[in-house]
Amino acid sequence: MDNTDNRKLLFRSTNGRAPAVSFEQALLKGLAPDGGLYMPEQIPAFTAEEIQKFSDMEYHEIALAVGKKFLAGEIPDEDLERIVRDAYNYEIPLEHVLDNSFVMRLDQGPTASFKDFAARMMGRLMQYFLNRNGGKLLILTATSGDTGSAIANAFYGLDNVNVVVLFPEKEVTDRQRKQMTTLGKNVSIIALNGKFDDCQALVKQAFGDSELDYLNLSSANSINIGRLIPQTMYYFYSFAKLRSGDPGEKAVFSVPSGNFGDLCGGLIAKKMGLPVDRFVVATNENDEYPRFVESGFYEKLVPSRNCISSAMNVGHPSNIPRLVQMYGGTMDENGNIGTAPDMELIRKDMYAVSINDEETQAMISEAYKESGLVLEPHGSVGWAGLQSYLKDEKVSSEQLCISLETAHPAKFPEKIREILAFDPELPPSLQGLEDKEESFEHLPTEYDAFKEFLKSNYTK
Ligand SMILES: *Cc1c(COP(=O)(O)O)cnc(C)c1O
């Protein structure tokens, strides 16, 4: 073993019954063989001085510093630098709203949702390793709207990766669907006559099906560690750009949450040394997590509830086992708790709140009237969650608060028009979609049909 290998961080399954692997293996596998999720064996840390220096750095430079902490010894720094520069070539606006509260717009990527941050980095990392070591992958992804288009876009045109995306037919907007179905090439799209959870169940079953081993299946869902690491970077970035200079300053982040990948990115950033006072964990009416924080008992919601913040209609968030592990507990993929996490610490670090559709719509209207802030439903859940926290806990108006806007309002034109009576301006990345031709399959929710689709379309 040479020096480089000694520095490699290892990744372990949250179920604890699979061997530790390198980042490359964790990335290409997605799910651990024991059904658990990969997590770094230790979470690397920055010093306060290192974090201080971020204030003078650009996004891709901060991304490189964070990425190096996890990938040193696996990817030479110059290659990683090329990857982050190429992946993060768009703006991350930090919009001042009122007092010391800001909205971080993570919606300027090619598919106009925050999922571009993770997908673009993950796609480039997978391509990097496959080019280096050979091999082919078939990526299966279940989407409630935004993952599918971000993944399809990030992998479109690669020659050693094929992509199959399943989406719940009735739960995505026309525009979201068109972002996936107008690509073609190595990207296949399936409309399922069911809910997001049905899509996710099919993907999981395919992973466990040894008859499909020959396809070299991998996942691009937020269970993939390759998506999680990029989601720590913008927490560092926003704090670096908005901090006042007071050495003891800590930020409050409000995170609209569905599968909890975004939140886990924030929790990892905090463990790495980012000064965070509290996370506001804002869900829609799928309130299994706020109820868990209150009671200490976890109960998944089946079926999940349909809300207007459709990308967050998740009744059993796939990243919860990671969160539980970060607080000293264990949870399997079905939501069963082995060792209880430190609930007191969870409550200290997180304020969890469920925002219903009525409150979500009212906040879109109120934020625009009072502050000229244009929010779409997901960002509105986050902003409403933050307002609830500030009021409930009588937080000082000087507290630095950063609320994440996870999609561009123009992805939900029907809602915005209905509430604000205007059409949000289309970002360049979404222009011209209407005129493109769509192509996709329809399938029922039965596994056999899906398996047959895979077997007949993909050979060795
Ligand atoms: C996926 C998504 C979310 C939820 O993010 P998670 O990491 O799954 O919690 C929120 N908003 C939008 C627009 C999304 O696409």
pLDDT value at 2 more than 50: no
For residue 6, the model assigns a pLDDT of 55
Atom of ligand 1 nearest to the CA of 260: 9
Task: Kindly indicate the confidence band of residue 4, based on its pLDDT and cuts at 50, 70 and 90.
Answer: very low
Which of 149, 406, 415 to mutate for ligand 1's pocket (most ligand atoms within 8 Å of CB)?
406
pLDDT value at 242 more than 70: yes
Q: What separation in Å is there between the alpha carbon of 116 and the centre of ligand 1?
A: 11
pLDDT tens, position by position, 301-353? 998 899 999 889 999 999 999 999 999 999 999 999 999 999 999 999 999 99
Instruction: Please compute the mean of the pLDDT values over residues 433-446 and round it to a whole number.
Output: 94
Spell out which residues line ligand 1, taking CB within 6 angstroms.
113, 115, 146, 222, 256-263, 311-312, 378, 406-407
Atom of ligand 1 nearest to the CA of 259: 8
For residue 354, the model assigns a pLDDT of 98
Q: Whose CA is nearest to atom 1 of ligand 1?
A: 311
pLDDT value at 191 more than 50: yes
For residue 144, the model assigns a pLDDT of 77
Note the maximum CA span of the chain: 64
Q: Whose CA is nearest to atom 8 of ligand 1?
A: 259
CATH architecture of the domain with residue range 92-112+228-420: 3-Layer(aba) Sandwich (3.40)
Nearest alpha-carbon partner for 390 in 431, 180, 398 = 398
pLDDT value at 392 more than 60: yes
Burial (CB < 10 A; 0-12, 13-18, 19+), residue 313, is buried
For residue 227, the model assigns a pLDDT of 93
Q: What mean pLDDT is reported for the chain?
A: 94
Instruction: Please compute the mean of the pLDDT values over residues 241-267 and round it to a whole number.
Output: 96
For residue 197, the model assigns a pLDDT of 83
Please tell me the pTM assigned to this model: 0.93
What sign does the CA torsion over 270, 275, 277, 281 have?
A: negative
Instruction: Please compute the mean of the pLDDT values over residues 191-198 and round it to a whole number.
Output: 91
Phi first, then psi, for residue 15 (nearest 5°) are -85, -15
Q: What separation in Å is there between the alpha carbon of 309 and the centre of ligand 1?
A: 9
pLDDT value at 1 more than 50: no
Instruction: Please compute the mean of the pLDDT values over residues 15-31 and round it to a whole number.
Output: 93
Q: What percent of the chain has pLDDT over 90?
A: 83
Cα distances (angstroms) measured from residue 398 to each of 99, 281, 346, 388, 459: 7, 21, 24, 16, 59
pLDDT value at 3 more than 60: no
Point out the residues that are catalytic.
115
CA distance 80 to 206: 32
Instruction: Please compute the mean of the pLDDT values over residues 135-164 and round it to a whole number.
Output: 89
Q: What separation in Å is there between the alpha carbon of 102 and the centre of ligand 1?
A: 19
Atom of ligand 1 nearest to the CA of 264: 7
pLDDT tens, position by position, 196-222? 889 989 998 998 899 999 999 987 877
Give kind and range of the element (H or E) at residue 97: strand 94-98
pLDDT value at 359 more than 60: yes
Instruction: Please compute the mean of the pLDDT values over residues 139-155 and round it to a whole number.
Output: 88
For residue 18, the model assigns a pLDDT of 95
CA distance 105 to 112: 10
Q: What separation in Å is there between the alpha carbon of 266 and the centre of ligand 1?
A: 13
pLDDT tens, position by position, 262-300? 999 999 999 999 999 999 999 999 999 999 999 999 999
